Amino acid sequence: MNTESKLPLEESRSLNFIEEIVESAKVGDSLPRVHTRFPPEPNGYLHIGHAKSICLNFGLAKNYNGKCNLRFDDTNPVAEDVEYVDSIMEDVRWLGFDWEDRLFYASDYFQQIYDWAVVLIKKEKAYVCDLSAEEVSSMRGTPTIPGTPSPYRNRSVEENLDLFERMKNGEFAYGSKTLRAKIDLASPNMHMRDTVLYRILRAHHHRTGNKWCIYPMYDFAHGQSDYIEGITHSICTLEFEVHRPLYEWFLESIGLPLPRPRQIEFARLNLTYTVMSKRKLLELVKSNYVNGWDDPRMPTICGLRRRGYTPESLRNFAERIGVAKRENVIDVSLLEFCVREDLNKKANRILGVLNPVKVVITNFPDNHVEELDAINNPEDASAGGRKIPFTKELYIEQEDFMENPPKDYFRLRPGGEVRLRYAFYIKCENVVKNPETGEIIEIHCTYDKESRGGKTTDGRKVKGTIHWVSAQNAVECEVRLYDRLFKSENPEDGQDFKADLNPDSLKVIKGYLEPFVKNAKAGESYQLERLGYFNIDKDTTENNIVLNRTVGLKDAWSKIVKK
Ligand code: ATP
Ligand code: MG
């Protein structure tokens, strides 16, 4: 857990519109109090969109010496579960944020929220309605045609108090009655047309058990929960903009003293090639289109973590995309850029070959092992170095040899010379082919034993440096290569998002890595030189090391070509 790291607020970057709102409330030199909350509903695992909201809420509090609560908005027991509660806490902590002693549940406030509903009844601002959900919606009207009043709208206060209490006591059947606000049936804002405050639900709640059989609607619980916690800025996504009059109406009509929280909406994060709805992600999990919530192809925080994303990379991503007031779609390659940038600083480099062809060094002694020095991370001197074994038989990538290459091919070719990373110059003398298929099975080379470490004694140079592993000492690993989970940029555009699933989003191959990897632990990230960043998967056992490819290198095949 990294609770120390500050959201990197670059000095030069301008304030986002929420920071502007905070700063505009400055009195003299003193900034207003900032107290935010992150309010997930525990009905699924968190995704990258939630990560943005977490960074925004906790980040704003941190930057203004305020506080941020974690509050579970657990008003719908039907879909909620402790499994989700636990995973959400783990993910928020992992992202590097700390709610300290401020872990709350909307369900803790059920009694208070109930009492406030009674206040509204007494003020003739709420009534018990016997209409079914279908009847309510058929009578709502349209934005230009006012709704039809419920025949129960003018029940007396006494009758409403009696019925509401009996609703609470479980005297009525599921769905037979609701408590509704009495607002304005002609309002152009449909949410103001006598919205439902309470419904009867006979469901076991993960915290309150069977104590309640009526549950407040999200709208009636959220603002009041904010008020109870002393929230100053209630940040939510744009779809709640039309709910804001309701949010304010409740606090006002109950008669809650000032100061009251202020609701501020921002644009939710949308990413290309990604679905971000919890309902859809649940469907992918439940129908086994992916292997669980933490499948490395999922945009969930646990999926990204398993893929090899770091908390820093997600926080930097959130900071880079900023906070917008209008809907937009962010290119998923920006997310990939952020993890690449972070792992470039942190991940140790190792050599590994994913698509091997054997090289035999004909002038190298049999059964001899030469220990060569390799640097762990050129970006971080403190990472030190290690030894890698060089032997007579090696593997290189098939792509690093061409029998009839074009002119600008600087890797291995018949008669050509190439530098092996951290090792020697080798020259291709001839190739051995499978007589039936013509496939190259061995490349025979000689090495220049004076070129140890990659420098020749006569000053001769080559343009290509390729990676390799010792065939005798390499560790065979299971490598999981991921591609985008969806084929099109906006998988939610079509009729059925599942029709857009990419059938090739997971490819499992064997890879050959330097022996060092035997000591690697699940969760560690490495850069396989020239191939990309890989993370040791939790499925790893003593006999089977499993790697996930987090992300490729930007210009995979040209970077190491030297002058
Ligand atoms: P639903 O309410 O439909 O179950 P949700 O994605 O809104 O789904 P919540 O648990 O209510 O899930 O979300 C918690 C917080 O995260 C809310 O404040 C919500 O606005 C915010 N949030 C959810 N999705 C995104 C997103 N894509 N980008 C930014 N913030 C998001
Ligand atoms: Mg929500």
DSSP 8-state assignment for residue 269:
P
- Report the run of H or E that residue 374 belongs to, with start and end: strand 370-375
Provide the pLDDT for residue 89. 98
Ligand nearest to the CA of 53: 1
Instruction: Tell whether ligand 1 has an atom less than 6 A from the beta carbon of residue 243.
Output: no
The residue contributing the CA closest to ligand 1 atom 25 is 49
Provide the pLDDT for residue 11. 52
* Domain-located, residue 559: no
CA of 243 to the centre of ligand 2 (A): 12
Mark which of 238, 266, 294 sits at the end of a domain. Answer: 266
Cα distance between residue 416 and residue 424, in whole Å: 14
Q: Compute φ and ψ for 399, nearest 5 degrees.
A: -70, -15
173-176: long-range contacts at Cβ-Cβ below 8 A with a sequence spacing of 24 or more?
Answer: 173/200, 174/200, 174/201, 174/202, 175/132, 175/133, 175/199, 175/200, 176/130, 176/200
* Domain-located, residue 498: yes
* Domain-located, residue 521: yes
Shortest CA distance to 255 belongs to which of 222, 225, 227? Answer: 227
Provide the pLDDT for residue 101. 98
Question: Is 358 among the residues known to form the active site?
Answer: no
Question: Is 307 among the residues known to form the active site?
Answer: no
Domain encompassing residue 303: 278-346+477-551
Q: Is 161 exposed, middle or buried (0-12, 13-18, 19+ CB in 10 A)?
A: middle
The residue contributing the CA closest to ligand 1 atom 3 is 278
My answer on whether 125 and 238 are in the same domain is yes
Instruction: Tell whether ligand 1 has an atom less than 6 A from the beta carbon of residue 96.
Output: no
CA of 312 to the centre of ligand 2 (A): 25
CA of 70 to the centre of ligand 1 (A): 14
Helix/strand/coil for 278: helix
CA of 53 to the centre of ligand 1 (A): 8
Mark which of 266, 292, 310 sits at the end of a domain. Answer: 266
The pairing of beta strand 385-390 with beta strand 370-375 = antiparallel
My answer on whether 469 and 538 are in the same domain is no
My answer on whether 326 and 372 are in the same domain is no
Report the nearest atom of ligand 1 relative to the CA of 52: 29
Cβ neighbours of residue 29 under 8 Å, at least 6 residues apart? none
My answer on whether 213 and 117 are in the same domain is yes
Using an 8 Å Cβ cutoff, are 385 and 376 in contact?
A: yes
Cα distance between residue 78 and residue 231, in whole Å: 27
Instruction: Tell whether ligand 1 has an atom less than 6 A from the beta carbon of residue 349.
Output: no
Provide the pLDDT for residue 563. 30
* Domain-located, residue 155: yes
Instruction: Tell whether ligand 1 has an atom less than 6 A from the beta carbon of residue 35.
Output: no
My answer on whether 171 and 234 are in the same domain is yes
Cα distance between residue 69 and residue 39, in whole Å: 8
My answer on whether 253 and 302 are in the same domain is no
| Residue of 41, 85, 222, 233 to mutate, ligand 1, most atoms within 8 A of C-beta | 41
Q: State both tokens at 371.
A: 């220990």
Using an 8 Å Cβ cutoff, are 200 and 214 in contact?
A: yes
Using an 8 Å Cβ cutoff, are 450 and 435 in contact?
A: no
Q: State both tokens at 151.
A: 């025949």
CA of 101 to the centre of ligand 2 (A): 24
Cα distance between residue 122 and residue 250, in whole Å: 14
| Residue of 37, 50, 276 to mutate, ligand 1, most atoms within 8 A of C-beta | 50
Q: Which of 33, 102, 268, 346 is catalytic?
A: 268
pLDDT tens string, the chain, 563 residues long: the values are 333 333 444 556 799 999 999 999 999 999 999 999 999 999 999 999 999 999 999 999 999 999 999 999 999 999 999 999 999 999 999 999 999 999 999 999 999 999 999 999 999 999 999 999 999 999 999 999 999 999 999 999 999 999 999 999 999 999 999 999 999 999 999 999 999 999 999 899 999 999 999 999 999 999 999 999 999 999 999 999 999 999 999 999 999 999 999 999 999 999 999 999 999 999 999 999 999 999 999 999 999 999 999 999 999 999 999 999 999 999 999 999 999 999 999 999 999 999 999 999 999 999 999 999 999 999 999 999 999 999 999 999 999 999 999 999 999 999 999 999 999 999 999 999 999 999 999 999 999 999 999 999 999 999 999 999 999 999 999 999 999 999 999 998 888 999 999 999 999 999 999 998 999 999 999 999 999 999 999 999 999 999 999 999 985 433 433 33
Report the nearest atom of ligand 1 relative to the CA of 46: 10
Report the nearest atom of ligand 1 relative to the CA of 277: 6
Radius of gyration of the chain (CA): 31
Instruction: Tell whether ligand 1 has an atom less than 6 A from the beta carbon of residue 440.
Output: no
Instruction: Tell whether ligand 1 has an atom less than 6 A from the beta carbon of residue 278.
Output: yes
* Domain-located, residue 291: yes
Mark which of 210, 233, 266 sits at the end of a domain. Answer: 266
Cα distance between residue 300 and residue 278, in whole Å: 9
- CA dihedral (239, 243, 248, 252) in degrees, to 10, reads -160
CA of 32 to the centre of ligand 1 (A): 26
Question: Is 41 among the residues known to form the active site?
Answer: yes
Cα 148 to Cα 133, 151, 186, 242, 510: the distances in Å are 14, 9, 9, 21, 67
* Domain-located, residue 192: yes
- Per residue in 77-114, is it b (16+ CB within 10 Å) or e — as a string? beebeeebbebbbbbbbbbbbbbeeeebbbbbbbeebb
* Domain-located, residue 15: no
My answer on whether 261 and 335 are in the same domain is no
My answer on whether 183 and 112 are in the same domain is yes
Report the nearest atom of ligand 1 relative to the CA of 276: 27
My answer on whether 429 and 466 are in the same domain is yes
CA of 238 to the centre of ligand 2 (A): 11
CA of 319 to the centre of ligand 1 (A): 18
Q: State both tokens at 346.
A: 């942190």
My answer on whether 329 and 355 are in the same domain is no
Residues counted in the chain? 563
My answer on whether 168 and 92 are in the same domain is yes
Instruction: Tell whether ligand 1 has an atom less than 6 A from the beta carbon of residue 492.
Output: no
Domain count, the chain: 3
CATH of the domain at 430: 2.40.240.10
Instruction: Tell whether ligand 1 has an atom less than 6 A from the beta carbon of residue 41.
Output: yes
Q: Work out the angle at residue 113's Cα, subtended by the Cα atoms of residues 160 and 170, and round it to the nearest 5 degrees.
A: 55
Instruction: Tell whether ligand 1 has an atom less than 6 A from the beta carbon of residue 444.
Output: no
Q: Work out the angle at residue 413's Cα, subtended by the Cα atoms of residues 556 and 365, and round it to the nearest 5 degrees.
A: 100
- Classify the C-alpha dihedral 78-84-86-90 as positive or negative: negative
CA of 36 to the centre of ligand 2 (A): 16
Q: Which of 33, 41, 159, 387 is catalytic?
A: 41
Half-sphere exposure of 114 (CA within 13 A, CB side): 19
Q: Which of 278, 386, 411, 530 is catalytic?
A: 278
Name the pTM for this structure: 0.93
CATH of the domain at 214: 3.40.50.620
Instruction: Tell whether ligand 1 has an atom less than 6 A from the beta carbon of residue 39.
Output: yes
Instruction: Tell whether ligand 1 has an atom less than 6 A from the beta carbon of residue 2.
Output: no
Provide the pLDDT for residue 2. 36
* Domain-located, residue 273: no
Residue type, 226: D
Cα distance between residue 50 and residue 268, in whole Å: 9
Ligand nearest to the CA of 40: 1
Q: State both tokens at 471.
A: 């065939």
My answer on whether 240 and 302 are in the same domain is no
